[in-house]
Structure 1
């Protein structure tokens, strides 16, 4: 607890000597609301810094490094709460502009006395430092050759032994309080060193009053109040102590607000530092990924690797420079607040009201400036960049510069917005605008960076489950920072949209999805009638179906897998109806490799389907999880494709003449999910089973290929419900149903052609 001072309402000029560590009576500042004999508890001003620190920080001019004095080198307080001696201030200012040598802030000093007031608090602090450093070396004020032993509180003078005795004999001073220097050295109280300021117009009078008139606002003596600051002229005179107490409270309140801002700055500084560390860690991770990819390409792409690292270095330097600049600005602001806080504590420690009032406005202006200063509450950069190298190993040298890129996103969440248009409807695709900006409100992408950015657009349904993860997105034409994002809510209610870069949320927005109003919303699974595609110029003979056409004109061919062309890691039953994924160690018969699929771990149907006609077939899918799948592991693929594209890659999805549905581990759902996509637009998503050992799934999917309208429809065969419609299917050449199964060590996949 701080030591305190009991202030009494008394007419005595000075209180009795204080006892060290005890409460003392101080009648110098009477409270008009107190009755005689009552006491008010007030803090005794104390100093916590060591003498050398005090001297360096408050008693030396920051330009000439000389100690302040009472003459030409007296202290002048700048608006930033740093100080200069008066001589250096006049030498340093240029055209009424003065740059602080400490913080480099430039001030307008056209009115020096108002902008940079004289700081008389330093005089008392000088005496305090003298005693704290070496009380035995302090000279007597009247007899400089003699060593002082006491200090008179009222006269503010150091006294030797003889002067002390004389002080006690003279009637004018015999009641003054004399303090021993050795005892003062052990104390941190400044109260004993506070001297009364004298009026410059009436040197024999103390400055005990304060004129509150707007044009005056200064301490005055009794004579000034009578002669120059007359109430008849609009002046209002109050006790300097009363005004000082009020101003001190204003400063204390302002200091609390300023320190709250300082805490916010420190919090943001910590976030900036953490982001810097994440940028550095991510940089290392991206470098490792670059190295891993390019090591497999040997010397052909060594130059490309160096170029990409340089690009990464440039992008990282931009981020780090922005973060370092922000960090430096925040540290500077924090330092200014800490320095101002310390100075304010020092100023508030003085009970010398006139001295304090002379610097009050400067202190208040500085504290308000620091409190109101603007700063971003989040780091200017995020650790959001990465390395894109899809398909690089299998491509030739000329494709390196085109396919491998360093992407970097500088999205600043407070500047990013989502703009929805009309109300969204269930099962109806809608496009909205996402505006992404960096902290300078500029575009966050490099040229072409959107296409390779590790960005996810997450749609969560009202139940909190992930409904869509791969929404169509593209840069708005003519824009560098506006994305057109297309979504298709699968149910009504409040949905949540999140745009993530490397799983870092950049934009988050809720929206409502209303019930659909179109015909398709009322009659589920009804046949659509889009504009038919052009009839191919050359028609080939279509093989006669194994079964006659139904009354509705839908043919149901007998489907079997081509055993001779199936991948070596799958098993086909003798009748060609059943497909299973197997590991290499489970093979029971020799597998010739020349005619089999090499990359595609699946099988295609023995017969194809082609315009004209409508064809329906069904496949029963069975899944059993042996052990949990890793992130995004594939489970199966069902689709149709031209024979020319089957086997080029691990899946047919994404090929020009292929359409399919994928079953895979989905990170956001942490489950095995079904995804149907077309032209980078997610058409359907559904959780099939948990990603847990022993989990199973059995489902019969029906497929209707309408060659007249170019549609591939997917059904839940058992309940006869349409799941999804894929448009713009090119049926001008034979299309073959395909099935693939993956990761046999983690999941068993069985696909069976059903009799329909």
Structure 2
């Protein structure tokens, strides 16, 4: 049983009749077998890894553990105990502490009958508990004398005869006095150790809490790092796709020309090969008269082919992959995203992460005014300071639409929107592991109580704030048609609406207090168009968004601006660098919620990525388009 102590070397349990336990200097126990068979006279305690040289150290018998083993055997293995009074092999039932004997039922009765042992206290096994024995032991030298004195000089127990024989001039005290003193010392040490243990317990709890805190921080940062690098990978993947599309577009015409030339050359080669084969046949089988008759016919055909100019080698226009700034990009990646200690992190990212957008804009305005004031005397210094400010602003997703004007109306905030995962309508769509909204049911994620039940998409996690300046975000949509669209089939939809309009219908285009742009097949133009809607009314249709053919795969990149000060909403086609539609007189009195929908999974595949904050590539051309749309 696991309750029995074990040898700290061989790990075998001690038993009452087995090898005796010896006490190591580390207070762990080792069995007699391991002591006698120790290789090189050295024992290594497996519990604390301390080595003991037996040639220099005498190990005492561990009497405490012997008594512990005795009581554990009585409690857990009483059937193993036999009567030791007569050694008759009978099952023992009780224990006599004075005689130190196990007694069977017969010996128990006899023990209580004899006058000499009648007053001995017999303990039944079921009633036995660990107790301190007050019965003194007999001297090993003077067999019939009790050990009741302690020699302080020799540090050993002695009897009365020993006191007068070999310990006459030594200081000796009674055993009870020494035992009481040692007991008090042990109680004191016990209390001190208990206090130390409590402090260690508190310290361990503090370490565990710190470990849990570090674990939570690690998980949070791991999620942030994963999202950040997934976003970077998505951008790199999309950039790769765009470059491959450009490459395909550039090489398609050249490959078509080369293919036509190759077909022509192959036909000429086949004709020439046929003529050669026929001439070889003539030379093999034709008679002289046949040769004369065929010479004119074959000669004319041969001259015709020989006079035809042989095709020259075609020089293929070369193309290169522009890796300009690649080394700089690699260098930036190698130092991007270092994990900093919290105190360093808070100091180094204070301006970007702890300020609100309004505080940051006000700070930018104030420093810009200071720069303008300083420009009169230190123009170079002011320009450098402004460059630093604008660099930090771009990292925060804040851009100046006009570099020479810093006021709220000319500051564009690329806000940090998120798809609301808890409200997504899982009957039609779901958000995949990459964070994209796709037009497929979720096979694993359970639906929440607050999810949208009609609208085939999701909304943002929060409404648009009253920022007092233009707010901007983008949607990158990858669309693949499985089959041509034949009816008014909706592909995707983006826009804004009031809270109560979010889940009224499968789409928000026809809802009041909503402003949206949809991509769908148009019966008027017979193709796939971009359609705009304002407060439930159809406004505009722009044709030729993408080909309506099976297997078509295309990327649609749109941007949306909301300016509560100018009361405007603007839809932008990012790839075409043009404004799709500008809505005036938008009512900003109630919050508007960004909405995102993807549709018709049986006809096509749609994957929508939300591009926000510093992930947006804000070019000067894009700024110019936004300024013109807001003017």
TM-score of the superposed pair, with normalisation by structure 2: 0.41
Q: When you count helix as a share of all residues, which structure comes out higher?
A: 2
Larger relative strand fraction: 1
TM-score of the aligned structures, taking structure 1 as reference length: 0.35
